[in-house]
Amino acid sequence: MNRRCIPALACALCIGGWSALAQAYASAEILTTEAYQYGRFAASIRFPSGSGVIGSFFLWKEGSEVEDTFWNELDFETVGNDCHLETNAFYGNPAQVHVQTASLPAVCGTFHTFTYEWTPDYVAWLVDGMEVRRETGEAAAAFRDNTADGMQLRFNIWPGDATFGGTFDPSLLPVYQHIDWVEYSSYNGTGFDLEWREEFDDNVIPEGWELATWESPKGLSTHFVENGGVVDGHLVLALTADDALGVPGFTPPMGAGGMGGTAGVGGMGGMGGTAGTGMTEPTGVGGTSGFGGTATGGAPGTSASTDAVASTGIGTSTSSVGGAGGSTQSATITSSNATTTGNAMTSFTATATTGGVNSGDLGASSSTSGGNAVNESPNDSGCACRTPGHGSASGLPARLAGFALFALGATFCIRRRRKA
């Protein structure tokens, strides 16, 4: 992943403005958690068509996008209003893309079988059993010599622009990509042996697959787990407006292991205020609550003073509800003379809800705690300022949180991860 550290002000600006474009649409990507070196990789896919609608089936070496890393990627992509098929081989450091357009009729709208054959000596692309491209020599060596850990199978759907795929037409939404089955056969030196075949027979994302939560290549959408599901024996990936997520007919299963939706990122953690100064009466002023989005989070502050009440602010932050419930706590402020619950000046009972991490009814979700905490979403380790808009109906709380972080002089990292 590319990591870029920027000052908190820039982070606040990315929350408040730039990301609105990135969040205009919601897309989907799914990948195998295991990688394979060499073999036959095949899938039956019905790609959608439309200006700016891009559908892909690709093999990807994890970490290819990291700076100073040798890139390895193989693509089938349906592109443009005419739904022409492009085959790509990305490789090198820096990566170079080797693109060919297949001489085929439009392949969108009906199921076709797309296959890679990858061996130490060649890479071939096949459609319905007919070879449409073969690479040997330098290209084969690039994939042989730089993929000791293999490559993952990945599928996605996302919006393009005038530079690639055509200007996207939002009137097309929602748009769906269907995958009937996927199979992998290992290479035995002379031929291929079937290792597994996924038929998507159950109404569940199968074990060994995971849905992505990063930005799509042109920055016009972010992949959401809600836009992937299994319906009637097909894996379905959706391209939708960001306020109309979901795959019709798909309901995440109940119980442990259910996919559910990922926790949204709703602003930064609230800042606990500085303890109030001692006075003759319990009138220490609690700190200003941090701005969040839709839910409060974080453990309440507790402080004590021998002379009078001193309080700490109760941070607020956003947590999209993922698993079953969470816990509630009341803030208590203790002095040598009395105990006051909530705000020392008003005796308001302050309750903070801690979302917790639950693997239950809706699967795993994350939440932030109070104080200077920063939410960290599933599959996006270490990114303190990630693409905003997940889990907040309004951008204002997030903007205010960004400026609060600037005041603290904090520095955060943005990771942008792409399927090129």
Q: What's the pLDDT band for 1 if we cut at 50, 70, 90?
A: very low
Q: What is the pLDDT of residues 100-140, one digit of tens each?
A: 999 999 899 999 999 999 999 999 999 999 999 999 999 99
For every residue of 363-401, DSSP letters joined together read: B------SSS-----TT-TT-SS--S-TT-S-SHHHHHH
- Is residue 270's pLDDT more than 50? no
Q: What is the pLDDT of residues 44-55, one digit of tens each?
A: 999 999 999 999
Q: What's the pLDDT band for 240 if we cut at 50, 70, 90?
A: very high
Q: Share the mean pLDDT of the chain.
A: 69
Average pLDDT over residues 238-248: 96
Highest mean predicted confidence (pLDDT) among 119-128, 281-290, 404-413: 119-128
Count other C-beta atoms under 10 Å from residue 412's C-beta.
21
- Is residue 292's pLDDT more than 50? no
- Is residue 359's pLDDT more than 70? no
Tokens of 15: 């929350």
pLDDT score for 21: 46
Q: What is the pLDDT of residues 135-178, one digit of tens each?
A: 999 999 999 999 999 999 999 999 999 999 999 999 999 999 99
pLDDT score for 65: 92
pLDDT score for 254: 54
Locus of tokens 């920027």: 6
With b meaning 16 or more CB within 10 Å and e meaning fewer, what string describes 64-83? bbeeeebbbbbbbbbbbeeb
Q: Would you say 304 and 354 are in contact if contact means Cβ atoms under 8 Å apart? A: no
What's the DSSP call for residue 323? Answer: S
Tally: H helices and E strands in the chain: 4, 25
- Is residue 216's pLDDT more than 70? yes
Residue boundaries of the structural domains of the chain: 24-241
Listed in sequence order, the residues at least 6 apart from 96 whose beta carbon sits closer than 8 Å to its beta carbon are 90
Domain formed by 24-241, architecture: Sandwich (2.60)
pLDDT score for 236: 98
Q: What's the pLDDT band for 252 if we cut at 50, 70, 90?
A: confident
Q: CA-based diameter of the chain, in Å? A: 88
For every residue of 142-170, DSSP letters joined together read: HHHHS-TT-BEEEEEEEE-BTTBB----G
Nearest of 415, 286, 266, 278 to residue 355 by alpha carbon: 266
Locus of tokens 């443009």: 80
Higher-scoring residue by pLDDT: 274, 349: 274
Count other C-beta atoms under 10 Å from residue 18's C-beta.
14
Beta-bridge partners for 140: none
Query: What is the rounded distance in angstroms from the CA atom of residue 314 to the CA atom of residue 96?
Result: 51
Query: What is the rounded distance in angstroms from the CA atom of residue 278 to the CA atom of residue 284?
Result: 6
